[in-house]
């Protein structure tokens, strides 16, 4: 009897609460394990990796089937185009704004940044990817590779193309439509099962990070990290609160509260793509339509990175100051443009933003080796930037959904009047 009550009580704690408890426990356990981080890394992290692998495993079928099913239910190619266009515009504008905020605050604080020695720094420069390469890489050349490599943009393109074809084939495709919808439900259920493990996943992912980095947080990069986190907060409060209220008709408080499970998960996992299933669940609960969320969120998880853009702006200023270089205004504008474009090419996985930082530094002639100055605490930057990245995706899904609803209502009214 007592056992039953206990089980019930655990069931009553909402997922956000369970994840939060896991997060607090992970911080405590991580602190206790400082100095013995190898235990956390060898015996706790693997369970986090198992969980993240399960999430990654389900993310491709979820994106593929939910976009196909969404496109088919809209049965209007133009409507899909309008949703995609509005989302991309929102994503680009907010990312450019995010970089500007990053540059603004970093310039305010830069006088207090430590000047770290730059002699003997080395960083393995990644192969440069041009803008044209990024565009070419959006399109799949093979049916299987996008899925086996979890290349989200290519999976999105595949899903859209097949979805459009099904609409165009019409009546004859009815049996396929039925199957796609059934498979979509099956994958959603699988995702649901995996997500129930998120508190355990969060604990096992975060505990080793705290055990390894705990002391470094207070280290010499504390102020640079603080600048980035101030910017993450300012951007969320300033941009998402206002756009969600004005364009999405939703109270910001309700928005952030509803997003809590996804926010906590993104913070612990540092992966936008990994947070995708939970983000879908949160935004739908907040009122986003399924057809919009399933299209806009995977797109955002791959091309929208406001947190990453802020991080790149802050780090560019910090690295420049360590090299004694004063960036000019045109150089800052170049950073805004490159960071916005770089975010399209940044994969939603841990550490990807640091690789793209090389492109931003190169665009203004800063030494790429400077990345070595911030690489040691990248994970701590990453947890915050990923949280902001997925919150931005969610705000877009809710806004586009709301605008879409309004448009449909207007159309229906006009039809009535005729
Ligand atoms: N980890 C980030 C994300 O998944 C990308 C980055 O490294 O900036 O959104």
- pLDDT value at position 76? 80
Predicted model pTM: 0.84
Between the CA of 302 and the centroid of ligand 1 the distance, in Å, is 9
Q: pLDDT tens digits, residue range 13-37?
A: 777 788 889 988 988 999 899 888 8
Residue nearest ligand 1's atom 3 by CA: 348
Terminal Cα distance for the chain, rounded: 64
The three-point CA angle 207-212-215 to 5° equals 110
- pLDDT value at position 107? 93
- Helix-, strand-, coil-residue percentages of the chain, each rounded to 5: 80, 0, 20
Residue nearest ligand 1's atom 8 by CA: 353
Half-sphere exposure of 250 (CA within 13 A, CB side): 28
Rounded CA gap, 81 and 293, in Å? 14
Least trusted range by pLDDT, from 74-78, 136-140, 202-206, 283-287? 74-78
Name the more confident of 357 and 416.
357
For the Cβ of 349 lying below 6 angstroms from any atom of ligand 1, the answer is yes
Closest atom, ligand 1, to C-alpha of 349 = 4
Between the CA of 290 and the centroid of ligand 1 the distance, in Å, is 24
For the Cβ of 350 lying below 6 angstroms from any atom of ligand 1, the answer is yes
For the Cβ of 213 lying below 6 angstroms from any atom of ligand 1, the answer is no
Contact 303, 341 (CB under 8 A): no
For the Cβ of 351 lying below 6 angstroms from any atom of ligand 1, the answer is yes
Between the CA of 348 and the centroid of ligand 1 the distance, in Å, is 5
Closest atom, ligand 1, to C-alpha of 270 = 1
Q: pLDDT tens digits, residue range 59-117?
A: 889 889 888 988 888 778 888 888 999 999 999 999 999 999 999 999 999 888 877 77
Q: pLDDT tens digits, residue range 229-260?
A: 999 999 999 999 999 999 999 999 999 999 99
Between the CA of 41 and the centroid of ligand 1 the distance, in Å, is 21
The per-residue DSSP string of 359-408 comes to HHHHHTT--GGGHHHHHTTHHHHHHHHHHHHHHHHHHHHHHHHHHHHHHH
Percent pLDDT > 90 in the chain is 44
What Cα–Cα distance (Å) separates residue 16 from each residue in 63, 198, 263, 267? 23, 10, 9, 13
Q: Best substitution site from 273, 342, 351 to test ligand 1's pocket, by max atoms within 8 Å of Cβ?
A: 351
Rounded mean pLDDT of 327-356? 85
Least trusted range by pLDDT, from 109-118, 174-183, 278-287? 109-118
For the Cβ of 310 lying below 6 angstroms from any atom of ligand 1, the answer is no
């Amino acid at each position: 009897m007592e056992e039953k009550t206990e089980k019930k009580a655990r069931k009553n704690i909402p997922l956000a609460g369970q994840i939060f408890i896991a997060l607090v426990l992970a911080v405590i356990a991580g602190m206790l394990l400082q100095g013995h981080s190898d235990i956390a890394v060898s015996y706790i992290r693997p369970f986090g990796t198992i969980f993240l692998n399960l999430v990654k495993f389900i993310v491709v079928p979820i994106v593929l089937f939910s976009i196909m099913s969404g496109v088919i239910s809209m049965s209007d190619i133009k409507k899909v185009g309008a949703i995609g266009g509005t989302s991309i515009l929102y994503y680009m504008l907010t990312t450019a704004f995010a970089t500007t905020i990053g540059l603004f605050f970093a310039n305010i604080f830069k006088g207090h940044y430590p000047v770290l020695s730059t002699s003997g720094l080395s960083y393995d420069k990644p192969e440069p990817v041009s803008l044209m390469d990024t565009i070419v890489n959006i399109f799949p050349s093979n049916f299987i590779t996008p899925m086996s490599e979890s290349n989200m943009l290519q999976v999105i393109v595949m899903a859209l193309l097949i979805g459009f074809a099904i609409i165009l084939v019409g009546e004859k495709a009815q049996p396929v439509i039925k199957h796609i919808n059934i498979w979509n439900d099956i994958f959603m259920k699988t995702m649901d099962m995996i997500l129930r493990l998120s508190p355990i996943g969060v604990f096992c992912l975060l505990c080793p990070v705290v055990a390894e980095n705990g002391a470094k947080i207070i280290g010499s990069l504390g102020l640079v990290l603080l600048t980035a986190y101030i910017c993450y907060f300012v951007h969320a409060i300033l941009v998402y609160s206002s756009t969600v209220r004005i364009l999405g008709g939703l109270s910001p408080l309700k928005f952030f509260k509803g997003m809590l499970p996804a926010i906590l998960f993104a913070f612990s996992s540092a992966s936008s793509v990994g947070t995708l299933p939970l983000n879908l669940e949160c935004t739908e609960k907040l009122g986003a339509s399924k057809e919009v969320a399933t299209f806009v969120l995977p797109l955002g998880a791959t091309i929208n990175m406001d947190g990453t853009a802020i991080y790149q702006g802050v780090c560019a200023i910090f690295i420049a100051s360590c090299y004694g270089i004063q960036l000019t205004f045109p150089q800052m504008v170049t950073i805004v443009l490159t960071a916005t474009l770089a975010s399209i090419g940044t994969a939603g996985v841990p550490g990807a933003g640091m690789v793209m930082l090389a492109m931003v530094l190169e665009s203004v002639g800063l030494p790429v080796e400077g990345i070595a100055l911030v690489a040691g605490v990248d994970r701590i930057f990453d947890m915050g930037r990923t949280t902001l990245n997925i919150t931005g995706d969610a705000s877009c899904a809710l806004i586009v959904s709301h605008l879409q609803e309004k448009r449909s209502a207007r159309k229906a009214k006009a039809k009535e009047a005729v």
